[in-house]
């Protein structure tokens, strides 16, 4: 039996801009108390089955699907749905769910049509949705993940990582690094420019080079920049480097100039993508 799900664009609690739209599961707002999640899910056919050691609330459905509501300090930050389809049904079920999401959200920000592990991702900076075929249970299964603001930081806490400085929220994490934006910044917005701060933290120190000269090792770089989101330009205001929490160097640009085009995998491009998405969200 296939039970459809509904995905809406819904305002998130605690957002500094009430008009900002966030990706949400069944319109349930991010950061509501854990006890507020059970009733709407039960009305949709989910049965509460318990609380994990990490404090996440777990649900099952009559068709065999499983849902986990992930919590941070007792408030909702994410959902993970493991679909019931198995075996030869997996490919078809993935297509149904992926197409359903795309009809609601438009073209995905990232996609891979690989036959064994296809995925589609919709990213709003501080929240995102990903549907994929995974082997998290051993056999191929369709997983849909809804992640709200604070999800990356909670997972980092569970993995033993140091918390971000006040105001910073992680918006991207890989096996090598994590990227955070300062959501408290409300700087100048002139001629299409957006002022923002972001930090890139490497899990192992790196030794960058500048003009062919090897620099001192560092593990974190923090930037304050102006961004032209539409024009994909960036202008450096200030930069600071750190190693194991100790500030190594800092400088401010005396005559900030726009840089374009941006190196695709460089810090400026990563910062522009993170800050612009976090500031504006994704409005379809």
Q: Give me the helices (H) in the chain, please.
A: 35-43, 89-105, 151-158, 267-280
Tell me what the pLDDT averaged over the chain comes to.
87
- Which CATH number, 3.40.630, 2.40.128, 2.130.10, 2.40.30, labels domain 162-280? 2.40.128
Please tell me whether residue 131 adopts helix, strand or coil conformation.
strand
Strand partners, 81: 67, 144
The whole-number pLDDT of residue 190 equals 57
Is the confidence at residue 17, as pLDDT, over 90?
Answer: no
CA–CA gap between residue 267 and residue 172 (Å, rounded): 13
DSSP for residue 33: B
Domain range annotation of the chain: 7-151, 162-280
The pTM (predicted TM-score) of the whole model is 0.84
How do residues 172-219 score in pLDDT, each as one tens digit? Answer: 999 999 999 998 876 555 567 889 999 999 999 999 887 778 888 999
The whole-number pLDDT of residue 210 equals 74
Is the confidence at residue 150, as pLDDT, over 90?
Answer: yes
Long-range contacts from 26-30, C-beta under 8 angstroms, 24+ separation? 28/76, 29/76, 30/76, 30/77, 30/127, 30/148, 30/149, 30/150
How do residues 59-117 score in pLDDT, each as one tens digit? Answer: 999 999 999 999 999 999 999 999 999 999 999 999 999 999 999 989 999 999 887 88
Between residues 24 and 30, which one has the greater pLDDT? 30
Contact 4, 123 (CB under 8 A): no
Task: Render the burial of 12-22: b for 16+ CB within 10 Å, e for the rest.
Answer: beebeeeebbb
Is the confidence at residue 224, as pLDDT, over 60?
Answer: yes
């Amino acid at each position: 039996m296939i039970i459809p799900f509904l995905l809406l664009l819904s305002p998130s609690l605690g957002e500094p801009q009430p008009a900002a739209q966030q990706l949400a599961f069944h319109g349930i707002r991010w950061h509501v108390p854990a006890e507020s999640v059970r009733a709407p899910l039960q009305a949709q056919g989910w049965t509460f089955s318990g609380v994990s050691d990490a404090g996440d609330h777990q649900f099952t459905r009559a068709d065999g699907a499983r849902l986990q509501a992930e919590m941070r300090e007792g408030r909702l930050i994410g959902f993970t749905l493991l679909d019931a389809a198995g075996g030869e049904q997996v490919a078809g079920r993935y297509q149904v769910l992926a197409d359903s999401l795309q009809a609601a959200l438009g073209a995905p920000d990232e996609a891979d049509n690989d036959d064994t592990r296809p995925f589609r991702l919709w990213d709003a900076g501080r929240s995102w949705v990903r549907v994929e075929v995974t082997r998290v249970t051993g056999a191929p299964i369709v997983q849909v993940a809804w992640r709200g603001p604070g999800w990356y930081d909670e997972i980092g806490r569970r993995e033993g990582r140091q918390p971000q400085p006040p105001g910073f929220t992680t918006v991207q994490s890989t096996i090598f690094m994590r990227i955070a934006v300062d959501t408290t910044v409300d700087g100048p917005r002139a001629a299409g420019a957006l002022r923002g701060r972001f930090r890139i933290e490497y899990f192992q120190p790196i030794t960058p080079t500048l003009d062919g000269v090897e620099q001192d090792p560092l593990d974190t770089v923090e930037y304050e920049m102006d961004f032209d989101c539409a024009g994909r330009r960036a202008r450096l205001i200030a930069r600071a480097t750190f190693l194991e929490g100790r500030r190594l160097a800092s400088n401010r640009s005396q005559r900030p100039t726009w840089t374009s085009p941006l190196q695709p995998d460089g810090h400026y491009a990563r910062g522009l993508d993170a800050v612009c998405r976090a500031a504006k969200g994704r409005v379809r």
